Structure formats: C-alpha cells, structure tokens
Chain A
Amino acid sequence: MTVSTAVDRGTRPASPLSQATRKGYLRYLVPGVLGFLVVVLVPFVMNVAISFTSWSGIGTPSFTGLDNYQRLVRDQMFWSAFAHSIWFIVAMAVIPTALGLVLAAVLFDYIEPRFGQRVSSALRAGFYLPQVLPVAVAGIVWSWILNPYGALNTVLQKLGIADPPNWLGDTSWALPAVMAVLVWMQLGYGLVIFMAGMARIDPQLHEAAELDGASWLTRFRHITIPQMRPETFVVLLTTTIAALKVFGPVYVLTKGGPGDATNVPSYYSYTNFFGTLQVGYGAAIATALTVVVIALSVVFIKLQSKSEGAQ
C-alpha cells in the first residue's frame, strides 16, 4: 500500500511515457508473472479446489462440497489450534513489540548518551543474534536446554528446586515454554527497527520536554510512543502474520504435542497433508488460515491509513 502511493508520487511525471513505450516494458514482467502463476496462483487455486474434496493424494479426488468446512467448524482440535495461535501472537507480536519498544528507548536515549554508541550497539547485537539463527537450529538448541536433564533444570536444581518440570513434555508447561523460546527469538526484530526509527525523531522534542522537567517515563509516553507509531504498526503486522503462520518452532520443539498442547493451524494442516493423508481436510485448514491472515492484514492496513488520515 505504501509503495503504490510512492509509485504514484514518482518524481517523473514531467515526461509521461507514451502508450507504446509503456507496452515495451511489459516483456520485462514475463519471468516474474510466469513464476507467480506457476508458484503462487495455480497452486493456490488448486488448494482451494482440493479443499472441497476428499482425497488421499493418490487417485482422483471425490467432490464433497462443503463437508470439510462443516467438519472444521465442529473440530475441537482445529479450534484449540487457533486458540494456541492467539498465544503465539502474544509471544511473537505483543510481548516483543512492547518489550522491544521499551528496550529500544532505554538503549537509544539512556544508554547511548551515557556510555556511547559502541555499548548500545553491542547490547543491541546481543539481543538481535537469535533472529539470524535458523529456526531448526534454535529448535535443537532449546530442546536440548529444556529437556528434563538439560541445562535449565540443572540450574533450577542448583537453586534448590528439587523437581523442575519436563518443560516440553508436560501438557501444562509445553505452551509457555514454546512461547518463551519465541519471545527470545523475536525480541531483536522490533528492537532493531525501533532503534532505527528513534534516530528519526527530532532530538529537539526530547530536549524541550526535558527543559520543561518531563521525566524519562513522561517523554517515553508522550514523545517516543506517538512518534514510533508507524514502526509499531509495521512490527505488529509482520509479527502477527508470522505468528499465525508459525510452523518451524512447533515442528522442531514439540511436534504439536504433548497431545495437542502446542498444535497450531499450520502444523495441523501439515499433519493432515503428509501424516494422515487427509489432503482435502488439510487444504481446508490451510484455506481457512489464509482467509484469517489476509483479513487480519486488511484490517491492520485499514486501521493504519485511518489513523494516518486522522493526524
């Protein structure tokens, strides 16, 4: 959305290209459009079509109309998977955005003026490092730390907790444990974006407020948060979408278990596709997930342009 406006505002309307010249550029789209058709559009339409059938992946799919969707609405497993998605949004979007904003402000306008940019950059790099780790690698590191005899429980035993839980193997602890790993992974993303955004704020705003005796907290609430609104929107949107789509961490840490304690829609569709071979049902789950993701993006973007218009 942002880009389309940028394109319209392009600095070059001085010499509008003629119709014929414009057409000459179309051939440059051939590889992109072809790729898009084969990799995105055709598979997406096929997936929607498959969702109206019963199919094991072999032979001919048999058309069953809305059966899969009716089953979906009544499926406890599906709803609990979506409920877990909400917890994943908390862990991947809400907490990292809030914590990232506070941390960025502390690093940017408290630590940096007092200890220099080197210190604040080093701290930022430390928090960002988990972001560059492949999900699969982060997964095995953590599954090893969280295992019943792993590093975390060793620490806890040293602290006098005699019987620490089996984090990933216990129905009531698995979800919070996975959430903690996700916070660890995501924190750096918001932090980096917010710190870059803060460099954009006019320092005079803060200076004037300081002269008026505004405390750090007051300045944070009345200057930093409002000024960081565009960044906050982008971070919340991208991380919320990522949380709804999350697959890797679940696959490597818990495989959706124990039971279905950490099952999420993407993992649930995967097990239907490649585990139980209920391809039609898997396609219905994936389609439902797509609808939710796109609806949410549209709502977010609408909200953003509304709040931009209001200012």
Chain B
Amino acid sequence: MALTTEVDTTATVTRPGRRKLRPSPGADRAASRLRHQRGITRWVLLTLLAVATLATLFPFAMAAINAIKTVEDYTAHGPLGLPRSFDLTAIKDFWQNVDYTNKLLNSILISASVAVLGTVISVLNAYAIGIGRIKARNALLVLLLLATTIPQEALIYPLYYLAKAVGLYDTKLVVIIISAVLSSAFGTYLLASVLSAFPSEILEAARIDGAGRWQVLRHVVVPVIRPTLMVLMTFFFIWTWNDFFLPLIMLVSNGNQTVSVALGSLQGQYTSSPTSLAAASLMGILPAVVFFLIFQRTLTRGAVAGAVK
C-alpha cells in the first residue's frame, strides 16, 4: 500500500543525485513497513524540511542577532556568534539618523490611504460591472487586465513629468492616487466576479422596498461583501507598504520618504558598519513580520483568491 511509497519518497526527495535503490517489490514493501513502524523515513524527511525552513529564516536570524551586538563583539566574534552583549546603540543610531518614526508614519499614512481609496474605486467599478452589468463590461475588464500587466517603467516618466507640471511631485498625495488607481485594477477584477454572483433575490427585495442604486450599494452590497473587502484592503496595504519603484521616483525629499525607500537607499552608506546595517535590516523586517502575523490568514486566503478565481 502506501508503504512502498515511503521508500520512494525519500530516495527521490532527499537525495536527488544518487542512484535509487530498487529492491524487489516484496522486499521493498517489507522493508518500508519496518521503516514506517520505526518512523525513520518520516523523521528524516521532517528533519530535512525543518533544516530547509531554518535556512530560509537564516537572514532574519542574522539581522536579529547582529543588530543587538556591540561593534567590539562583532569584530571579535564575527556575524555568526551569538551576542555576548545586549546593546541597542546601533538601533538607536539608525532610528535617529534616518528619523525612522517619520518614515513609519509616512508608510502607514500612504498605505492606509491606498487601501481605503483603492477599495472604494474597486467597489464602485465592480458595482457597475458586476451588478449594473453595463454594456462594455468585458472590454473594460480586458482593459483593466492589460493595465495590470503594463510595466510601471512604461508609465513612470510621463507620470513624473505630469506630477511636476501640476505641482504634485514629491507629495504623498501623488503616490496615493497612482497606487490606488493601479491597485483598483486588480480589485475591480476580483470584485466584479464576486458581485456577478451576488444573489439576485436580495437585490430584488431591496428594490421593491424602494431602495435606490446608491442605497442598495451602501446598505445591501457592501455589508454582504465586507469580508472580501477586508482581504482587498489588507492586500493593498501590504503591496503599498512594500512598493519601491514609485516612491523611489516620486518622493525625493527626506521628510516624505517611506520605509522602503529609506532602507533601499541606505545601501552603500553603511557598508563599513555591519551592526548598523543589521539594525536597519531588523527595523525593516519587524513591521513586515508584525503584518504577517496579524494578517497571515487573510493573506494566504487572499493569495489563493487572487490566483484561482
């Protein structure tokens, strides 16, 4: 039965390079039953996967242990040694040098605004497409799909030029508007399919009660799809938080920069000071890990919703 399986699995998964042992099926089965009972194979596999996971997490660990070392400790024992001191100087210095409070506030403001604005635009579009079933809906969806595939490089120079022309260059507002519109392409696409399957009885009932289009949207549709809207907002928030290209080009002055841009432009400044670099890394990692823990369920579910709708 499944027991033959076990031997094969380890042979292929754990050492792809080596020749596979192929004893006769009977012996194979007996041997594997024995192993299965002792549980060797599965423990070997589990250990290998655990090692691979730890290797994946290695960079996170490196940033964490080196951010809290003193420079002397680092020079004496290198990056791998566990900290023999607990020292927040590197983190404090980094925080003050880049005015990290300001960067965090900028990132939060921009990401939250994009989450709300992008979701509002998506809902309005999707309402017209999915429930209003306006005429050109399929053409619109294809257009939106194209919008999501166009590389930002093919839009950025005109956007930069136009932003300068209307005096919005180097403002958070311009990043919020552009990101919200770009995110709403995906949001519309997702919500249109959700709304096109919206139960018609509910809509009918609301209309018979005399609710107008706007009231139906506000008091019937939005409350029903609220969980999906939360997923969408989470998505937009994280995307905007992680976005690098647009804020790199639009936000030049120090006071407007986001966490991503501030950290991305650090490189090269600090190469002589490994503990400072580790401190900066750790400060960049922490918010992301916090979001991950808070939104883990939403995010993994959302990644799936986005992929296989």
Contacts and interface: CB of A to CB of B under 8 A. Distances in A.
B63 to A, nearest CB: 6
A129 B57 contact: yes
Interface of A: 1-4, 6-12, 14-15, 17, 21-26, 28-29, 31-32, 35-36, 38-40, 42-44, 46-47, 50, 57, 102, 106-107, 110-111, 114-115, 119, 122-123, 125-130, 132-145, 147, 149-151, 154-155, 158, 184, 187, 189, 192-193, 196-197, 210-211, 213, 215-217, 219, 230-231, 234-235, 238, 241, 244-245, 247-248, 251-252, 265-266, 269-270, 273-274, 279, 282-283, 285-287, 289-290, 293-294, 297
Give the interface SS of chain B, mostly helix, strand, loop or mixed: helix
Nearest to A254: B267
28 contacts: A4-B137, A9-B196, A28-B132, A29-B128, A35-B121, A36-B147, A39-B182, A47-B155, A106-B45, A132-B292, A133-B242, A134-B244, A134-B263, A135-B244, A135-B264, A137-B285, A140-B280, A140-B284, A144-B281, A147-B271, A217-B8, A245-B152, A245-B153, A247-B244, A252-B267, A273-B160, A290-B150, A293-B150
B261 A136 contact: yes
A143 B129 CA distance: 46
B188 A32 contact: yes
B159 interface: yes
A275 B144 CA distance: 31
B49 interface: yes
Given A137-B260, A184-B56, A193-B304, A294 B146 contact: yes
A248 B245 contact: yes
Contacts of A25: 127-128, 131-134, 213
Given A134-B263, A252-B264, A290-B150, 17 more contacts: A22-B133, A24-B132, A29-B125, A29-B140, A57-B161, A106-B49, A126-B53, A132-B299, A134-B242, A136-B259, A137-B288, A140-B267, A141-B59, A187-B56, A216-B8, A252-B244, A289-B151
B53 A17 contact: no
Interface of B: 1-2, 4-6, 8-9, 12-13, 42, 45-46, 49-50, 52-54, 56-60, 62-63, 78-80, 120-122, 124-125, 127-135, 137-138, 140-147, 149-162, 177-178, 180-182, 184-185, 188-190, 192-193, 196-200, 203-204, 213, 217, 238, 241-242, 244-245, 248-249, 259-261, 263-264, 266-267, 271, 274, 277-278, 280-281, 284-285, 288-289, 291-292, 296, 299-300, 303-304, 307-309
Contacts, number: 343
A235 B264 CA distance: 27
B13 A106 contact: yes
Nearest to A268: B153
Contacts of B46: 111, 115, 119
Given A4-B138, A43-B159, A293-B149, A143 B200 contact: no
Given A35-B121, A150-B79, A151-B62, A3 B192 contact: yes
